[in-house]
Amino acid sequence: MGFVKDRFKAKADKLAAEIKDILKENGDKPIGQVKLSQIYTGMRGITGLVTETSLLDPQEGIRFRGYSIPQLQESLPKANGGSEPLPEGLFYLMLVGELPTEEDVQHMTSVWQRRSHVPNYVFDTIEALPVSTHPMTQFVVGIMALQNESTFAQRYAEGMSKKDYWDATFDDVMDLIARLPRIAAYIYRRKYKGGNHIQPNGLLDWAGNFAHMLGYKDEEFRELMRLYMTIHADHEGGNVSAHATHLVGSALSDPYLSLAAGMNGLAGPLHGLANQEVIKWILEMENEIGSDLPTKEQIADYVRKTLSEGKVIPGYGHAVLRKTDPRFEAQMRFGKKHMPDDKLLQTVWNIYDTVPEILGSIAKIKNPWPNVDAHSGALLLHYGLKEYEFYTVLFGVARSLGVLATLCWDRALGMPIERPKSVTTEHVKLWLQGKDEIWG
């Protein structure tokens, strides 16, 4: 692993000392007030976590270590002849806090290539599941089977010192990221390609090799995977997949157990599974209307119908964002560059012209704009990846980069077990009557 591990440790030690000083001086400073309504509404707006890898501004969208998506597309190293960032570079940035050089990224690629071997018993475990099992379930089962390989779990059982937690976590994180594309591709080929598996190509970068193992030879699709893996990697710490990984990791559950928890959260339709729901919803709409290019009026009618049936419009809305998601915009730019005449993409863009006005007229909806999931499926489908139940697995492989980089930071900064206080409504009533305290 060598120099990346050393650089990470040096940065982490420096930050740990800074945090100690910050807390010594300012530890008692209040950071906003919690309203009663917030504890009944998913803790929305409560600042309660520190995540070093990225920060989400409601108006601007995500920044990774201060860099916006267009800036990353400009600054991160690319594949030979390519124009999209290599996700290895984003991982390095999130981990070390500095933009990587070409050599740093090549190093990450070769480290992940070297560590990518998946033991056969993991595939055997997946094979024990019915093929009909949802790909996200197969993915989590694969990660759980791989847990047997955990360095952290093994060293903990041997009595590892607290000061070495970060080191064992780091090793597990590198192994996991290296192996996830192989597991994901295995599930795809098993479920949709009759078990006709494709061996890894050791000459390709992490995302390029993933595209190759899925069975997509097109260089443009590899470029899409590099962009896809980069923009889906992280969205600060409070989203369900990031928070679940961090929460479970705080119990010193090893990175395999922690990531599996995060992936189970990603598999929810209000979170990552929305990417499959978007394509399903669009295809159902086209089927019902009887056209592969519905007009904006037809789309508006279908949107109203969906809402009247008590369902959400998938791909729209966000718990934090209050504008069009820059990850949506990045994908739209990719679509306009490579496939401007694709009818499904035109429909995605027509939906974008139609939905915000309708959702914006409903007072309770705080954000009528599209999120990342509103666009991703249409790009995948363009290249033939039509099996939309698989889409959340792609999101999961990408999201591992952010949540596992964060797990390294959690361990290096000695983050304690997470344990917020909860109350009962009975207790809240007593508090309102002045008969009891809400304890901090």
Stretch that binds ligand CMX, among 61-69, 187-195, 290-298, 369-377 (CB under 6 A): 369-377
Stretch that binds ligand CMX, among 71-79, 203-211, 313-321, 429-437 (CB under 6 A): 313-321
3-state SS, the chain, equals CCHHHHHHHHHHHHHHHHHHHHHHHHCCCCCCCCCHHHHHCCCCCCCCCCCCCEEEECCCEEEECCECHHHHHHHCCECCCCCCECHHHHHHHHHHCCCCCHHHHHHHHHHHHHCCCCCHHHHHHHHCCCCCCCHHHHHHHHHHHHHHHCHHHHHHHCCCCHHHHHHHHHHHHHHHHHHHHHHHHHHHHHHHCCCCCCCCCCCCCHHHHHHHHHCCCCHHHHHHHHHHHHHCCCCCCCCHHHHHHHHHHHCCCCHHHHHHHHHHHHCCCCCCCHHHHHHHHHHHHHHHHCCCCCCHHHHHHHHHHHHHCCCCCCCECCCCCCCCCHHHHHHHHHHHHHCCCCHHHHHHHHHHHHHHHHHHCCCCCCCCCECCHHHHHHHHHHCCCCCHHHHHHHHHHHHHHHHHHHHHHHHHCCCCCCCCCCCCHHHHHHHHCCCCCCCC
- Is 272 in contact with 315 (CB distance < 8 Å)? no
Alpha-carbon Rg of the chain, whole angstroms?
Answer: 22
User: Which CB, 107 or 399, lies closer to ligand CMX?
Assistant: 399
Among 208, 315, 326, 402, binds ligand CMX (CB under 6 A): 315
Write out the binding residues for ligand CMX, residues 218-247 only, by CB under 6 A: 239
Q: Closest separation between CB of residue 49 and ligand CMX, Å?
A: 16
365 binds ligand CMX (CB under 6 A): yes
User: Which CB, 1 or 43, lies closer to ligand CMX?
Assistant: 43
Among 10, 50, 128, 270, binds ligand CMX (CB under 6 A): 270
263 binds ligand CMX (CB under 6 A): no
Q: Which residues are catalytic?
A: 271, 318, 373
Q: Which residue is at the shortest CB distance from ligand CMX?
A: 317
Q: Closest separation between CB of residue 274 and ligand CMX, Å?
A: 4
212 binds ligand CMX (CB under 6 A): no
User: Which CB, 222 or 399, lies closer to ligand CMX?
Assistant: 399
Stretch that binds ligand CMX, among 31-39, 223-231, 365-373, 418-426 (CB under 6 A): 365-373
318 binds ligand CMX (CB under 6 A): yes
208 binds ligand CMX (CB under 6 A): no
314 binds ligand CMX (CB under 6 A): yes
Count residues contacting ligand CMX (CB under 6 A)? 22
User: Which CB, 157 or 363, lies closer to ligand CMX?
Assistant: 363
Q: Closest separation between CB of residue 97 and ligand CMX, Å?
A: 25
411 binds ligand CMX (CB under 6 A): no
- Is 392 in contact with 135 (CB distance < 8 Å)? yes
User: Which CB, 87 or 272, lies closer to ligand CMX?
Assistant: 272
- Is 212 in contact with 201 (CB distance < 8 Å)? yes
User: Which CB, 363 or 417, lies closer to ligand CMX?
Assistant: 363
Site string for ligand CMX, 319-348 (x = CB under 6 A): x-----------------------------
351 binds ligand CMX (CB under 6 A): no
Among 73, 245, 367, 406, binds ligand CMX (CB under 6 A): 367
CA distance 351 to 292: 13
402 binds ligand CMX (CB under 6 A): no
Sign of the CA dihedral with 203 first, then 207, 212, and 214 last: positive
249 binds ligand CMX (CB under 6 A): no
Among 150, 324, 371, 406, binds ligand CMX (CB under 6 A): 371
400 binds ligand CMX (CB under 6 A): no
Binding site for ligand CMX (CB under 6 A): 239, 270-272, 274, 307, 312-319, 359, 364-367, 371-373
